[in-house]
Amino acid sequence: MTLSLASRQLIWHSEDDTAAFARQLAALPQLSNAYITLHGDLGAGKTTFVRHLLRTLGVSGRIKSPTYAVVEPHECAAMPVWHFDFYRFDDPREWEDAGFRDIFASDGLKLAEWPEKAAALTPPADIAIHIEAIDDTQRRVSLHAHTQAGAQMLQQWPA
């Protein structure tokens, strides 16, 4: 596990809080070249959060978890975005064959669900977001910065 340089704890009381969090994150300038990992059980709200973030960034059309495709590219005015879902990822050769190394070397926002499945191949996350369901609507959220850029993002976070 990578050392956390900074952390924050939050409670999302509703999906409106998830959307508000996505808007706050989208406002941070470092987001345009960040790697953010999303951790949590099935149904915790990872894809819901990604959907709110991508909508805030101006992505239109259907936004779904790329479970079978592993990666779903999105274009928005501010930056390219890649949404990874490594849940079914199990072949390191796929990393090279699919061009993931090139994606991670390029500018843009990378969001990854189930990142532990590809952890040996990815760089450290700027921010790891851990989402835990408290009940049907509330989520306990832990943010951990694993890079200097991630620590800067958390320092700039509204109180």
Domain total of the chain: 1
| Assigned domain for 119 exists | yes
Q: Which domain holds residue 120?
A: 6-155
Question: 């949404």: which residue's tokens?
Answer: 83
Mean pLDDT (10-residue bins), the chain, 159 residues: 79 95 93 95 90 92 74 87 87 78 92 88 94 94 95 84
| Assigned domain for 111 exists | yes
| Amino acid 23: pLDDT | 95
| Assigned domain for 27 exists | yes
Count Cα neighbours of 158 within 13 Å in the Cβ-side half-sphere. 9
Task: Tell me how crowded residue 68 is: count the other CB atoms within 10 A of its CB.
Answer: 9
Q: Are strands 35-39 and 127-133 parallel, antiparallel or unpaired?
A: parallel
| Assigned domain for 1 exists | no
| Amino acid 92: pLDDT | 72
| Assigned domain for 45 exists | yes
| Amino acid 34: pLDDT | 96
pTM comes to 0.90
| Assigned domain for 80 exists | yes
| Amino acid 93: pLDDT | 75
| Assigned domain for 12 exists | yes
| Amino acid 86: pLDDT | 87
| Assigned domain for 13 exists | yes
Angle, CA of 1, 143 and 62, to the nearest 5°: 105
